[in-house]
Structure 1
Amino acid sequence: MDIRQLRAFVTIVDLGSLTRAAAQLHVAQPALSQRMTRLEAELDTALLLRSPQGVQPTEAGKALYRHARTVLRQIEEARQEVRRGAAGGATGTVAVGLPTTVAAMLAAPLLRRVRAEHPGIRLQVFESMSGYLEELLANGRLDLAVLYRDLETPSVAVEPLLREELFVMGALPGDARAGRRARADGRATCPVRALAGVPLVLPSGAQGLRRLVDRAFARAVAEPPTVVADLDSLPLLLAAALDGLACTILPWSALAALPPGVTLAHRRLTEPDLDRPVSLCRLATAPRTAAAAAVRDILLALTRDGLADGTWHGVRPTGTPAPAPPPRPRTRGGGP
C-alpha cells in the first residue's frame, strides 16, 4: 500500500466515479482500475462497489477512506511546513461543514479571518443540510462541523456554541382577517398551537429541524404539522414563505440568505419554546492538527463576537433560558 494508491482511492470515493477520478488524476481508467484491484488484493477485501450509478465504498472501504484521508492530510501538512521553513504559522487543508443557515452568518467572516490570520491554511467549506454534514463527519471527510447537537459520543467530540431559537416565517392565515401584519423585526411571538392546520413547508424528516418541529407539535397540538411540501433547500423554503404559499419554520440566521432589501415577517415560537443547540463537532479519534485547531479557534471567536455585538439575533449562549414571551393582552372585563 503506497501513497499513490491511497490518493487514487480517496479521489475515487470523493468523486464516486472511476472515469472522473482517472481524468482528475491524469491516468488511464484501466490503469486506475488495476491499481484498485491490487490494493484490494493486498488487503484481501473488497473496497469498492461498482454499479451503473457509480462507485461506492464498502464498509471496509469507508474505514480505509478515513485512515487514508488522515495520512494524506498529514503528508500535505508536512510538505507545507517544510516549504515554509522558519516562516511559521499553521499550514494545511481544513475541511469545515456548515449548515446552510449557519453558513449565511459564518462562512464569509470565517474565510476573511482565516485568510488574514493564517494564509498557509487552505479552507474547504461544505455547505449543506445538517443530516448530510453528519454523514461527512462520520466518514472522515470533515475536520470540523457545526451541527445541531449537544451530546458527545465515543466517536464525536462536541463543543457547545449557542442555542438557536426557531421562528415561524411568513404571514399566518388569520393575520389578514384580524387586520394584523406580522412584524418583520422578530420581537413578536407565536405559540406552537396557533400553527394547527396552518400550511407549512419544512425540511424532510431526515433533518434535525423537522424532528424538533414534529415533537413540538406532538406536545402542543397533539397532531402532526400540516406540511404541504418537504423542501431540503433554504432558498425554496424562503421563497415559499415570501410568495405566501405557506409558512416555514427556520432560525433567524436564515434571513441572511434573503436578497438585500427583502424582509420576511417572523415570530419567535413559544409554548413550548422552540430552540436547538448549535455545537462545533469533530471526530474524537482523528488527530488534531495545528491548522484545524486554528480554524476551530476562529469559529469560536466569531460566535462569541456575534453574541456580544448583537449581529446574530435569535440566539443565546448555552445555558441561558429563553426570554419570556410578552404578556397576553387582558380583556376589558379583566379575564385572561
Structure 2
Amino acid sequence: MDTRRLAYFVRVVDIGNITRAADSLHITQSALSQHISALENDVKTRLLERTGRGVEVTRPGRSLYRYAQGILRLEQAARIDLHAGNDTPAGLVTIGLASYSMAPGLAVPLLRMVRERYPNIHLQLIQNLTVVMSQAVLLGQVDMALIYDPGYVKGLVVQQVQEADFHLITSAKTPPLATRGDAVTLKEASRLGFILPNELHTVRRITEAAFHTAGLHCSVVAEVETGMVLRDAVVSGLGATVLPLTAARTHFAPDEIRAYRFADGRLRTAMSLCTPEVQPLSEAAALVADLLRTLIRDQPGTAGRREPGVAANAVHP
C-alpha cells in the first residue's frame, strides 16, 4: 500500500473536501482524485462518498483512516530514527494526554526535559478523550497515553501512576457556596449548572454517577472539551465544573476560582500510563516514559488528603 496515497487520504478526511485538500497538498484536484481512486482499487472498497458539500467517509474508510494514522506515524518515526546519529537517542515519540486532567500540565515540563536531555527525540503531544486514546495506543497512533484509568483493556499495559479526588470548581466571582470551610454537599452542588465534557468522558461519567447515587440531578448546561474554553467559561461564571486539584492548577490562576471538597461523596479516579502490551516501546519512547513517570512522581499527591499549599476555596500553584 502506497503510504503517500494514505497520507493524501488522511488529509482529505481531515479537511472533508477534495478541492481544499488538493490546495493544501499543492497538487491538482484531478491528481488527488486519481490517487484516492487508486487507493480504493487497492483495498477493493469505496472509502469516500462525494456529496454536494464535500466528502463523507464510509465505514471502511473510517477503519482505514484509523490504521493509516498509525502507519504514517511509524513511517515518520522510522525516517527520524534512520537519519539520526548513533551516539544519542533519537526518534519520534507520540504521547496522548487526557483532557480535564493533570496531564496537560505536564506537557511543557516534559518537553523541556526532553529538549535538554535528548535533543534528537522529536516529541509529539496529542490531547483527546480517554476512550479514544486507549484505542489509539492499540492502533499504534500514539506510543503511550496518560489518561484516566480505562480499566482492563486487552492489549494494553495499564500502570496507575496517581490517584486524585475530584473537586467542585466555581468562579471566584460567584458567592461562596460553603459556610464551613472548603466542603460542599452534593445537594448544594446540584443547584449549579455544570460545564463538563461529553458523556463518554471519565470526568462526566464519575460526576453524574455520584449525583445519581445520591438521588440528585446533575444539570449540564454545556459540553466543552477544550481547556481554554473551559477556563474562560468557568471564570466568567457561566457554570461550574469538576476537576482534580492538579488539573485545576493547570487550567486556572489561583485567584480565578473557588475549589470545594465534596463532603458526602467520594469522587475519585486514577491516572494511568498506558502502553502496548505486545509491541515494546522504542528506546526513545522508553526514555520519555521514564521522564514522564518522574514528573508525575514529583507532583503533589491527591489521594485521600488535601494537597500541601491548598487553602480553603482557593487553588495555589
The TM-score bracket by the shorter chain reads 0.7 to 0.9
Q: Does 1:274 align with 2:267?
A: yes
In the alignment, which residue of structure 2 is the partner of 1:195?
189
In the alignment, which residue of structure 1 is the partner of 2:314?
none
Q: Does 1:30 align with 2:30?
A: yes
In the alignment, which residue of structure 2 is the partner of 1:289?
282
1:205 alignment partner, SS class: coil
Deviations 1:53-85 (A, max 9, x none): 544543433443444444434433333333223
5+ long unaligned stretches in structure 2: 307-317
Matches within 5 A, 1:85-234: 85-130=85-130, 133=133, 140-170=140-170, 175=176, 180=179, 188-220=182-214, 222-234=215-227
Aligned CA distance change for structure 1 residues 95 and 32 (closer, same or farther; 3 Å): farther
**Contact map agreement 2:111 2:123 (CA 8 A) in 1:** yes
Q: Take 1:304 and 1:59, find their aligned partners in 2: how far apart are those partners?
A: 42
> After alignment, is 247-256 or 62-71 more displaced?
62-71
Of structures 1 and 2, the larger Rg is shown by 1
1:85 alignment partner, SS class: coil
Aligned CA distance change for structure 1 residues 37 and 85 (closer, same or farther; 3 Å): same
Q: Take 1:63 and 1:251, find their aligned partners in 2: how far apart are those partners?
A: 34
Q: Take 1:301 and 1:214, find their aligned partners in 2: how far apart are those partners?
A: 33
Superposed displacement of residue 302, structure 1: 1.1
Superposed displacement of residue 113, structure 1: 1.4
Aligned CA distance change for structure 1 residues 162 and 31 (closer, same or farther; 3 Å): same
Deviations 1:82-141 (A, max 9, x none): 322333313125253342543442111111112122222222222345456457556653
Superposed displacement of residue 48, structure 1: 2.8
Q: Take 1:211 and 1:133, find their aligned partners in 2: how far apart are those partners?
A: 17
Superposed displacement of residue 34, structure 1: 0.6
**Contact map agreement 2:99 2:227 (CA 8 A) in 1:** no
Task: Provide the TM-score with structure 1 as the length reference.
Answer: 0.75
5+ long unaligned stretches in structure 1: 317-321, 325-336
Q: Take 1:32 and 1:44, find their aligned partners in 2: how far apart are those partners?
A: 18
In the alignment, which residue of structure 1 is the partner of 2:249?
255
Aligned CA distance change for structure 1 residues 156 and 49 (closer, same or farther; 3 Å): farther
**Contact map agreement 2:92 2:124 (CA 8 A) in 1:** no
Aligned CA distance change for structure 1 residues 201 and 67 (closer, same or farther; 3 Å): closer
1:276 maps to amino acid: T
Q: Take 1:267 and 1:99, find their aligned partners in 2: how far apart are those partners?
A: 20
Q: Take 2:265 and 2:10, find their aligned partners in 1: how far apart are those partners?
A: 45
**Contact map agreement 2:162 2:272 (CA 8 A) in 1:** yes
Superposed displacement of residue 219, structure 1: 1.6
Q: How large is the Cα RMSD of the aligned pairs?
A: 3.3
In the alignment, which residue of structure 2 is the partner of 1:327?
none
In the alignment, which residue of structure 2 is the partner of 1:5?
5
Task: Provide the TM-score with structure 2 as the length reference.
Answer: 0.79
